[in-house]
Amino acid sequence: MPRDARERLALSKGLANLATKKRLRVIGLMSGTSADGIDAAVVDISAARIQPIAFRTFVYRPAVRKEIFQLFRPETCQLDRLCHMNFLLGELFADAVLRLCRHARIDVKSVDLIGSHGQTIYHIPQPRVLGSPKPLRSTLQIGEPSVIAERTGVTTVADFRPRDIAAGGEGAPLVPLTDWMLFRHAGKARALQNIGGIANVTFLPAGGGPQDTLAFDTGPGNMLIDRITWHVTGGAKSFDAGGSLAARGQVDQTLLKELMQHAYFRRKPPKSTGREMFGAQVADELWKAARARRIHKLDLLATATAFTACSIADAYKRFLPALPQETILCGGGARNEHLRRLLAESLAPSRVLVMDELGINADAKEAISFALLAWQSIRGECGNVCSATGASHPAVLGKIVPA
């Protein structure tokens, strides 16, 4: 048999073995809209059990984070930078895998699969016509998976969002299926509220199946809060730890009412958003406007924090079929004690708790989710929930780069 034929046969057998193996050890990788660093989680997955093994966040060096943020703005995103950063982030994602294995004393050879979300650079959920015969949605995540597979020697699944968009969806949110797998409850309606750079909710009706879930982006999460914190502290702090600064301010009710008039909040699900609507540029404009109106800087931060809480509560009242009995928080915003208090007040009598109380690290959930989506993909099983993304049919997500 010719060598290339033998290699093709070995490749097909390797992927087939992964697809049929009863238990897989998978590493999930995630860099969110806040672009703080790479979340990496090791998960042992079988049909009967999902067992998180280890988790760490690898913070980006300031120079790398600055370069990523240059890509977010059309006026600073240059093609050579975009090309370079795609491969640099691939190297950093691969390094995160190897460092996590060393930290957890896990042999990388025991890892069967990697699921990498990558770093979202731009997300366009509303269809556009730019030289195309019909309106098109689009999204762009970078962090070259070929580099990850090459450096680690592990088959890598990445670029999960485009297939859902090709099937008519918005490419987001993609975590509802994994939320259902991890947190469904026979007797309680639950809301899984992620507060990353953008906030998103998954509603799990009591005893419901995957296609009974409702999920969408509620609106701003930490991005506005983080950027205004940067302004408030003169660049000394990139986030408001525990919400301690916001707690010292007073909410400007007039400004909050104006912010809540944003058209996004009236859009019915399925819907998704990103930094283009609630990111740093918007925060910079808000900072300038607030200074012109002589709003105290701590009052502005308090108002931005209340804006996240109010937009979440408003989304529940507008679009969820009922108030959940439990609201489970994850993402960086779950660590903001002041924001948690505001949510508890706004969502009462729903019990608001942090995911850690259910045995899963609130910071790790997104990385765990992409480990689970990679597991779905390698088995040829669909990973999107059409009621959440608006896709015309379920689809197998991601692109597979063999080891």
pLDDT at residue 385, as a whole number: 95
- Please give the chain's pLDDT, 403 residues, in tens: 566 766 666 667 778 889 999 999 999 999 998 899 999 999 999 998 999 999 999 999 999 999 999 999 888 999 999 999 999 999 999 999 999 999 999 999 999 999 999 999 999 998 998 887 889 999 999 999 999 999 999 999 999 999 999 999 999 999 999 999 999 999 999 999 999 999 999 999 999 999 899 999 999 999 999 999 999 999 999 999 999 999 999 999 999 999 999 999 999 999 999 888 998 889 999 999 999 999 999 999 999 999 999 999 999 999 999 999 999 999 999 999 999 999 999 999 999 999 999 999 999 999 999 999 999 999 999 999 999 999 999 999 999 999 9
Distance, in Å, from the CA atom of 172 to the CA atom of 215, rounded to the nearest integer, reads 9
Which string of DSSP letters, residue by residue, matches 235-295?
A: TS-SS-GGGTTGGGS---HHHHHHHTT-GGGGSPSS----HHHHSHHHHHHHHHHHHHTT-
| 306 and 241 together in one domain | yes
- Does 255 share its domain with 386? no
Does residue 376 lie within any of the structural domains?
Answer: yes
Q: What distance in Å separates the CA atoms of residue 319 and residue 193, rounded to the nearest whole number?
A: 14
Q: Tell me, yes or no, whether 252 and 143 share the same domain.
A: no
DSSP 9-45: HHHHHHHHHHHH-SEEEEEEEEE-TT--EEEEEEEEE
- Residue 5's SS3 state is helix
Q: What is the pTM of this model?
A: 0.92
Is 152 part of a structural domain of the chain? yes
What pLDDT is recorded for position 2? 65
| Beta partners for residue 124, in sequence order | 138
Under 8 Å CB-to-CB from 383, ≥6 apart: which residues? 160, 174, 177, 373, 376, 377, 395, 396, 397, 398
Assigned domain for 1 exists = no
Has residue 27 been placed in a domain? Answer: yes
Same structural domain, 339 and 372: no
Domain boundary among 358, 375, 392: 358
Q: What is the largest CA-CA distance in the chain?
A: 78
- Helix, strand, or coil here: 159? coil
Bridge pairing between strands 37-46 and 23-31: antiparallel
Domain that holds residue 227: 176-358
- Could you tell me the CATH number of the domain that includes residue 28? 3.30.420.40
The burial class, CB within 10 Å (0-12 / 13-18 / 19+), for 256 is middle
Mark whether 216 and 288 lie in a shared domain: yes
Judge whether 16 lies within some domain. Answer: no
Assess whether 272 and 166 both reside in one domain. no
Instruction: Name the residue type at position 289.
Output: A
192 and 88 in a single domain? The answer is no
Say if residue 326 is in the same domain as residue 386: no
In this structure, are 301 and 383 located in the same domain? no
Same domain, 149 and 167: yes
Question: Does residue 9 fall inside a structural domain?
Answer: no
pLDDT of amino acid 392: 97
On whether both 192 and 273 belong to a single domain, the answer is yes
- Measured CA to CA, the distance from residue 179 to residue 212 in angstroms comes to 12
- State how many domains the chain has: 2
Same-domain check for residues 287 and 273: yes
**Start-to-end CA span in the chain (Å):** 22
In a domain? residue 7: no
284 vs 256: CA distance, rounded Å: 16
Is residue 100 included in any domain, yes or no? Answer: yes
Sign of the Cα torsion 376, 377, 379, 380 reads positive
3-state secondary structure of 136: strand
